[in-house]
Structure 1
């Protein structure tokens, strides 16, 4: 499982960020995070077109690219389910920023928190920002990212996992289901959850709760485990390749109907 989380901030027009301004906003939004713009030797370690910002003991690279990102119809179709304007925003962008924490063997959750905070500061200082594509899998509006990124360092379970993971509902032969997109970066698998007992809002709530738990703890639910609130609500979990989603490795959860 790769734990390098690379994110793209889409821009209506290509522009290079003022990293001093970004650092100032980052300090104001997250005073607990020691922040400064990388200088001298730190900058020389990266490409000249990839400014660095130091956050605590980590370096975050922000590379400005005067070009559109490659088209991905599936990405924007998924985003349109909760963000109807997503496809038009994607169509109009003319540049993007690449944002990533530098270094080997980065732990996914700390890296996600830091990257999310830096992106929030970029959006706060750059009116050209129009969307964020997280790790190539999840697209969100700049406005939503600016709002939720204020919780980048909130304790479990209040950090903004909805920026990192999509939960998509579907109909199954026996009822309804939902699948995650993006969880594998944290837990190595997605969740595919089918039920014939739960309502759709309850199902989404269950998947969201399990998603946040796995983001925090990793894939601690083992193949064959059961889980639930009490003895009356039990769900089974199996490791498998999805029959529905092109062999996607999933934690397949059911309420006993499958």
Structure 2
């Protein structure tokens, strides 16, 4: 399996999905998939695999809750008020991952996200999704946003895969991503004394989706910007704020 983009679908009660129903839902939600040999009708109910175009996605049902991660659920609680209650009550989960390794992490993310959406559409017990061990989302949000799994750049649902969290750095404000490292090996840590928080979030979101699309094309020491007048310095480092986390350390403060 593709471990870096492995996803866990939380279940209120342990169940084994009917994969023939999941395949039908996947085809209905994403008719652009080329399903060979009759597609959904050919998938056995108890199959652990589902075909997405030329790739296979594995689904394994586990009759136990996932290990508790207080940091994960504390982050999730900032946007999902019921997250800690869902984490405490769930009794089972499904492991979902691309079989083998995709040429690009984005391909694995798109396909896995689409399959999770189809699982949620057909398994009422689904109550949440943990993505790459770093990001947690409610099932209803995933069900809706995953419809855009195959949308062209920049409209695919990268917010299912990456959290953007605010912090303070002295008199300045900052934002850190969680989840981007599954795609490019590092998170973004952006500190600014110029931007308001909404504008900072927009900058980090834009850079995140750009890196997800193009890979790690930003090098240590680069200066980047959306236009000729914008200057953002990027350095590779281990975060001083977040426990040595490898980051693209970004700043727009030039003296």
Unaligned regions of 5+ residues in structure 1, if any?
44-48
Residue in 1 that maps onto 2:186: 189
Of the three residues 107, 115, 139, the one matched with 2:136 is: 139
Q: Does 1:18 align with 2:4?
A: no
CA distance in 2, matches of 1:124, 1:151: 15
RMSD of the alignment, in Å?
A: 2.0
Q: Does 1:100 align with 2:97?
A: yes
CA distance in 2, matches of 1:236, 1:3: 32
CA distance in 1, matches of 2:42, 2:27: 17
In the TM superposition, what are the counterparts of 1:170-249 in structure 2 within 5 Å?
Answer: 170-249=167-246
Q: Does 1:63 align with 2:63?
A: no
**Which stretches of structure 1, 4 residues or longer, exceed 3 Å deviation after superposition?**
35-40
Residue in 2 that maps onto 1:46: none
Q: Rate the CA distance shift 1:3–1:210 in 2: closer, same or farther, 3 A.
A: farther
Unaligned regions of 5+ residues in structure 2, if any?
none
Q: Following TM superposition, by how much is the alpha carbon of 1:57 offset from its aligned partner in structure 2, in angstroms? A: 1.2
Q: Secondary structure at the match of 1:71?
A: coil
CA distance in 2, matches of 1:254, 1:226: 10
CA distance in 1, matches of 2:92, 2:146: 22
Once the two structures are superposed, residues 60-100 of structure 1 have per-residue CA deviations (whole angstroms, 9 ceiling, x without a partner) of: 11101111100000000000001111001111111100001
- With 231-240 and 77-86 compared, the bigger mean Cα shift is at 231-240
**Contact 1:187-1:214 at 8 Å conserved across structures:** yes
Q: Does 1:73 align with 2:67?
A: no
Q: Following TM superposition, by how much is the alpha carbon of 1:242 offset from its aligned partner in structure 2, in angstroms? A: 0.8
Of the three residues 121, 126, 136, the one matched with 1:124 is: 121
Q: Secondary structure at the match of 1:144?
A: helix
Aligned residues: 251
Q: Rate the CA distance shift 1:38–1:55 in 2: closer, same or farther, 3 A.
A: farther
CA distance in 1, matches of 2:220, 2:152: 28
Q: Secondary structure at the match of 2:201?
A: helix
CA distance in 1, matches of 2:217, 2:53: 29
CA distance in 1, matches of 2:202, 2:41: 41
Once the two structures are superposed, residues 97-142 of structure 1 have per-residue CA deviations (whole angstroms, 9 ceiling, x without a partner) of: 0001101355210000000000000000011000000011100000
TM-score of the pair, normalised by structure 2: 0.93
Q: Following TM superposition, by how much is the alpha carbon of 1:220 offset from its aligned partner in structure 2, in angstroms? A: 0.7
**Contact 2:24-2:40 at 8 Å conserved across structures:** no
Q: Rate the CA distance shift 1:217–1:27 in 2: closer, same or farther, 3 A.
A: same
